[in-house]
Homo-oligomer: A and B are copies of this chain.
Amino acid sequence: MADLARQLGVSMTTVSRALSDHYSIGPATKQRVQQMARELNYQPNQVASALRRGQSRLLGVVVPYIEGRFFPAVIQGIEQAASRAGFSVIVCQSHEDEQLERRTIDTLLHAQVAGVLVSLAHGTRQLGHFEKVRQRGVPLVFFDRAPTSGDTNAVVLDDRAGACQATRHLLRQGCLRIAHLAGPQHLSIYRERRQGYLDALQTQGLPTCEDLIIYSAMTVADGARAMHQLLALAQPPDAVFGAGDSAMLGALQAVRELGLTVPAQFALAGFSNEGFTTLTNPPLTSVDQRCGEMGAAAVRLLLELATTRSSRAAAHRVVLQPELLVRGSSLRTSS
């Protein structure tokens, strides 16, 4: 920067201001400085800048893990939105461990990140480390897995609406008795999805029957097992909505092995739009979680907070509507 100033016969202050587009610099000077900066291929030292301002152009992201489809896709969205705004992204994993989560938050704060995006580990109970973030004035946004207490900024999915949509779709396809594969009910996403399923039945004035709801850990094997159980009932269902795609994969395999044709005799719809849903035969109808949009929305919210920091206004909570992707496992040609 000193070189630049000398070459132009101005002070470093002027250079600094011209490059950061400060208002008190004449347009002519600005032009000259920026021109020369390009010529000399000047690269501002972001570390020095971060030290001086106490804040970098880095966003920290904490996720439970980065395998599977969901989190990479969200990170993808975060990355894109961030880079558009001139930020880079540090990704850390909590491995579903509260202790590690606490440590990664520390790491990020030390790196002077300009903001933190978090999806909670399942085990997390104490939220003290996030309080610390707030105290340092670093904006904080949760996505997907947010604390239930309402005074936090978060971007979440409307699981209930998605489940309702999927179930109603099955009804519209002419299904009369729809079963549900439910996940562990201590996780809110699975509670919500079950509730959405019930909503859909109730708005149609249909009876809900606990025999048609099977609870499990939602593995492939669980899904297959559940179908064997359901199809052995006196009044077996003619469709199933599952709260996760893996279980639905097992369900699909089981249904076909039991000799039913899909979707004519039995229809299926899942949740999450996993990668393999398009690979099965027939492909699985599923509820997409809008991963990319979620990431983008989280960044937007974060940057908004960063600029209007003063306003201690009520916490924002963005609720994304999922999208039902209808595929062969539920689409009857008649409709």
Q: Which residues of A contact B (CB under 8 A)?
A: 43-48, 50-51, 56, 58, 65-69, 72-73, 75-76, 79, 88-93, 106-107, 109-112, 220, 246, 249, 253, 275-276, 279, 281
CB of A88 within 8 A of CB of B67, answer no
**Can you name 4 extra interface pairs (CB under 8 A) apart from A51-B51, A66-B75, A79-B93?**
A43-B106, A45-B51, A67-B73, A249-B279
* Alpha-carbon gap, A69 to B253, bound state (A): 23
Identify which of B51, B91, B110 contacts A43 (C-beta below 8 A): B110
Instruction: With A66-B76, A93-B79, A253-B281 as known contacts, state yes or no: A47 contacts B43, CB within 8 Å.
Output: no
- The residue on B at minimum CB distance from A65 is B76
**Chain B positions within 8 Å of A107 at CB level:** 88
**Chain B positions within 8 Å of A89 at CB level:** 90-92
**Chain B positions within 8 Å of A112 at CB level:** 45-47
CB of B220 within 8 A of CB of A44, answer no
CB of B76 within 8 A of CB of A72, answer no
- Closest beta carbon of chain B to A274's beta carbon, Å: 9
- Closest beta carbon of chain B to A5's beta carbon, Å: 20
CB of A88 within 8 A of CB of B66, answer no
**Chain B positions within 8 Å of A58 at CB level:** 90, 111
* Alpha-carbon gap, A72 to B50, bound state (A): 29
**Chain B positions within 8 Å of A220 at CB level:** 279
Instruction: With A76-B93, A253-B281 as known contacts, state yes or no: A56 contacts B67, CB within 8 Å.
Output: no
CB of B76 within 8 A of CB of A88, answer no
The 8 closest A-B pairs by CB, nearest first: A276-B276, A46-B110, A66-B72, A47-B51, A47-B112, A47-B50, A91-B91, A51-B51
- Closest beta carbon of chain B to A95's beta carbon, Å: 9
**Chain B positions within 8 Å of A106 at CB level:** 43
CB of B111 within 8 A of CB of A88, answer yes
**Chain B positions within 8 Å of A73 at CB level:** 67
**Chain B positions within 8 Å of A46 at CB level:** 110-112
* Alpha-carbon gap, A143 to B73, bound state (A): 22
* Alpha-carbon gap, A45 to B220, bound state (A): 47
* Alpha-carbon gap, A79 to B106, bound state (A): 16
* Alpha-carbon gap, A46 to B108, bound state (A): 10
* Alpha-carbon gap, A161 to B72, bound state (A): 30
A-B contact pairs, 22 of them (CB 8 A): A43-B109, A43-B110, A45-B112, A46-B111, A47-B47, A47-B50, A47-B51, A47-B110, A47-B111, A47-B112, A48-B51, A51-B51, A65-B76, A66-B72, A67-B69, A67-B73, A67-B76, A75-B91, A76-B93, A91-B91, A220-B279, A276-B279
**Chain B positions within 8 Å of A275 at CB level:** 68, 275-276
**Chain B positions within 8 Å of A88 at CB level:** 90, 92, 107, 111
